[in-house]
Structure 1
Amino acid sequence: MNTRQRLPLTVAAALIALLGFVLPAPTRAAAQYAQGGAGSFPITFRNNTRGTYTDSQIFVTVLGQVTPGQWSYMKPDGSMAHINHLDATAPGHLVKNGVNYPNMSFTLARVGGTVPSPASIRGGRIYISLGSPLYLPVSPDDQGWGGPDLRNPHDPNSDVYYDWYEYTYVRGQVPFGGNTTQVDQFGFPMTSRLRQTSSGHDTTRGITRTRAEVMQQYAASVGAAFKPLQNGYRIVAPRSSNLFLEGGARQQHLTTAIDQAWAHYTAHPFTLTRLGETFSGRVSGSVLTFSKNGAGPFTLRKPTSPDVMACAGALASGNDTEKQLGAEFCAAFNRGVALDTTAWYTPAAYYGGTAKNDYAGFFHTVGLDGRAYGFPYDDVNDQSSVQILGNTEPPTGLTLGIGW
């Protein structure tokens, strides 16, 4: 016969017996926060769509590397599970255009608007989609997943409204760093408020204007070359549009500006001093040969316009020092100041000429405090929307506002 072990009266039970009431059960948010473990912190989502979408129509998909080199996704209870291609045929899987996908999303309504962040996550991405979950394939070896492909008109997410937040944080090792982003596209306005009570950190980044205002102002502000980047679902960044890449109709957009800069630094010495470091050199042919604080030589090849738009190719090659100057040139070309190194660290001079990245320049006009991540190296001279804590302890909380 089974007998139940008699347990000692707990303090809580004693209070119940004495006072005659039952203590409330832990809230869902408290239970989820506990699920994250030591070093976790709450991520809260605010539905600021002004009634356009209910919480049951706002989907969240969180992916990241909890274990280095291994991708996981967040389940509705806040736990992280390794991605699994077999989930594409599991109960509750997603189907679009006859193709099966894992269901790695949950709604705000299901989680009560708050989830716990893992205490360790690298390459974290928090996708928000409106009216539909995202359709993301997982590789057969479960080692990778496919994000929305903005260059593919047949991508299953091409008719889904989505945007995202990126972050990395490892308690005790890597300080929290995260950002809203328009590096690849703009889907709808988002804000991020990062708080840490112990350090006094409290910053908010992002866009608070309505989606209609952003879309209308973009159409009225940018040059003709950048207008086709806009459609009903999003504004695609030049680096993610076939239009500005090799073979596209605008593949030569910055070629003249690049030619002028290379000719200038052929005829005149190149010197850039910033952050206590000096880069000096000269162009010969298609190569800039330079030194850094007297050490060198190092080289930087002449970039193409697609290289500049994507901050890739010649601007992301070589050793760390060469990549460092490549990032500086990428920022200068996108901001339209490449011919004058004294303007490279003068924000008031940015985006004033004709040869520039109008897309990035526009988002700096609508981002809070003039901050935006409009191209991959927009953090040069601290112009991006990134938020970084000065220690490796967890934030008090991250609040993501979802606008419309």
Structure 2
Amino acid sequence: MRSLRTLVGVLAATALTVPLVLTTGDTPARAVGPSVLPVTVTNSTGRSDAVYLYVIGTNLSTGRLGYVSAGGTFTAWPAGSIPPSPAPDVSIPGPGNGGSTTIGFPRGFSGRVYFSLGTRLSFFLTPDGLVQPAPWAGGDASHDVLFDWSEFTYNDAGLWLNSSQVDMFAVPHAVTVTGANGVTKRTGDLVSDGRSAVINGIKAQPGWASTVVTRSDGTVLRVLSPGKAAGAGLFSTTYLDPYITSAWNAYTSKTLTVVPFADQPNTKFFGRTSGNVMTFTNTSGAQVASFTKPTSANVWGCDGNLQAPNDLVVGPIARTLCAALNRGTLGTIDTQPSLNAADFYKSSPTNQYARILHANMVDGKAYAFAFDDVGNFESLVNDGDPRSAGIVLSPFGAGGGGGGTAGSITNANGLCLDNNAASTANGNKIQIWGCNGTVAQQWTFVAAGTTLRVQGKCLDIAGGGTANGTKVQLWDCNSTGAQVWIPQSNGSYLNPQSNRCLDDPGASTTPGTQVQIWDCNGSGAQRWTLH
């Protein structure tokens, strides 16, 4: 099985000289997908700022650093200098609110898509490479710019695209990929008003408020990850030390078992602690790795004493240890990785940044630290034969639904979303009907779960279907993807599991027409207003 190794969160105000996101391992590559993959960037932020896009990274065939034009043409950077010289402006005009812009990823390229709102970003060049924005560093030119990025690799083995929060959380965004089979995968969606929930949740944690960075005009620019905040003097450098010591010392009297490969359950390593060193043996009893107790900074960065080389023994153990320490499961769960998210972030102290980010994602997935992909808890989409991809800049506020306010939902024809005959039976038809103010038309958009509810039950896609034309019904609320509806700036409700929108078939004006899901198209048949 192909191994996906993720290298994220390693960029700072230094020259970038290696591929920055993803490499793939042990299956011979074959050329798939178009030579330039179309990637649609959609702006659903609800903000009026101009958007600037940048596609930068590494040409995988030559190792050259450079940038990519809107059409997908790679150009190497010119030579830099000491002190660093300004890089040319390679920004691509992005979409206005409610609009979209299509850019191209050339096959054989690994890098980042930056998106800044209101102000262009500044990049600099040295003789060794590119200096990228690092707003946590003192005096960085990007400090007062609202921006973020997605990371990707597109090569002969397919596309990997993730919404990274490893360094900071700033501009919420979802990522998508559509394969040759027509199936679209999507992740990175926040719950309704999720950006505010993340910001306020972190502010409320003792000692964490300074990790939230606010511009002089009141705009919250970003929440820094604990490692970046600590490095900037905004957060305790020893915050996690008590937990690390407790977890590390737990294995002086018991054995830690690491099973790093899900497809190789018989590959196991066994760890015991002596002093500050945890030593691992394999199933034959031979010593294969040892780790000195890490610092808080080592855990936040998954580096230093937890450095993970790209091998099949030390690196996988280090990744597993780092994930367990970030999630607070080391010391209490003795076979790692732990795969039950209900056990995460219960240690004291714990990684509140990662906990709160995951809690506010529709599917629970985020890239909150470098090895959050251990156990596949990362916000990543992948397809071995992609045909298109997308980045959706998400609403900053509650969006079209409101935060729990009950009311009627009307379509563009003035008819109301209605629970047929006010029945609460599972499977009851959800239809359009003349607005009458009855309980069957009193919908609540519940921010905690991004569900639309009426009479105590949820708006649900029949059978969890994802095909065009699948009917929408009433069902017991069950937290499945069939009941997630993300309000969009154009008035539509998106179901991320199907990547389709709530739709009035044919923009019907006939009362009793059952609603469905359909490809999102921005038409009147998909515009809904909660009153």
- After TM superposition, the score normalised by the length of structure 2 is 0.60
1:341 maps to which residue?
334
The residue that corresponds to 1:44 in the other structure is 40
Mind listing any 5+ residue stretches in structure 2 that lack a counterpart? 1-32, 215-220, 397-531
Amino acid at match of 1:52: S
Q: Deviations over 1:33-88 (max 9, x none)?
A: xxxx94322110111122433xxx100010121244201112244322111247x9
1:74 aligns with 2:65: no
Asked if structure 2 preserves the Cα contact closer than 8 Å seen for 1:150 and 1:236, the reply is no
- Identify the residue that residue 266 of structure 1 maps to in structure 2: 252
Q: Are 1:149 and 2:134 an aligned pair?
A: yes
The question of 1:239 aligning with 2:227 is answered yes
Q: 1:204 to 1:253 in 2, by over 3 A?
A: closer
What is the identity, as a one-letter code, of the residue corresponding to 2:124? P
2:54 counterpart letter in structure 1:
T
CA contact (8 A) 1:180 1:385 kept: yes
Amino acid at match of 2:190: I
CA distance in 1, matches of 2:165, 2:309: 27
Q: Select 1:224's aligned residue among 206, 209, 219.
A: 206
What value does the CA root-mean-square deviation take over the aligned residues? 2.6
**Letter of the structure 2 residue corresponding to residue 310 of structure 1:** G
Query: What is residue 165 of structure 1 aligned with on the other side?
Result: 150
Q: Does 1:307 align with 2:298?
A: yes
- AA at the equivalent of 1:288: M
Match of 2:387 among 390, 396, 399: 396
Distance of 1:205 and 1:65 partners within structure 2: 24
- Which residue of structure 2 lines up, in the alignment, with residue 116 of structure 1? 104
- Preserved CA contact (<8 Å) 1:300 1:322: no
> CA–CA distance in 1 between the matches of 2:146 and 2:234?
25
Which residue of 295, 303, 315 corresponds with 1:323? 315
Letter in 2 for 1:128: F
By relative contact order (CA 8 Å, sep 6+), the higher-ranking structure is 1
Paired with 2:310 and 2:287, the residues of 1 have a C-alpha distance of 12
Which residue is equivalent to 1:62? 55
Matched residue SS, 1:331: helix
CA distance in structure 2 between the aligned counterparts of 1:144 and 1:306, rounded to whole angstroms: 26
- SS in structure 1 at match of 2:207: helix
> Identity, % of aligned pairs?
26
* Correspondence for 2:117 among 119, 125, 130: 130
Report matched runs for 1:16-35 at 5 Å. Answer: none
In structure 1, distance between residues paired with 2:271 and 2:187: 40
Contact 1:150 1:240 in 2 (8 A): no
Looking at secondary structure, tell me which structure has more helix per residue. Answer: 1
Normalising by structure 1, we get a TM-score of 0.78
Compared CA separation, residues 189 and 151, structure 1 to 2 (3 A):
closer
C-alpha contact (below 8 Å) 1:189/1:208 kept by paired residues: no
CA contact (8 A) 2:270 2:281 kept: yes
Q: CA deviation at 1:205?
A: 2.9
The reply on whether 1:294 has 2:284 as its aligned counterpart is: yes
CA contact 2:185–2:381 (8 Å) conserved in 1: no
Q: Equivalents in 1 of 2:391, 2:300: separation in Å?
A: 28
- Taking the aligned partners of 2:197 and 2:297, their CA distance within structure 1 comes to 26
Partner of 1:10: none
> Deviation per CA, 1:333-373, whole angstroms, max 9, x where unpaired?
11111112247222110012322111011110112310000
Task: Please list every run of 5 or more consecutive structure 1 residues that lacks an aligned counterpart in the other structure.
Answer: 1-36, 89-98
* 1:120–1:208 Cα change, 3 Å: farther
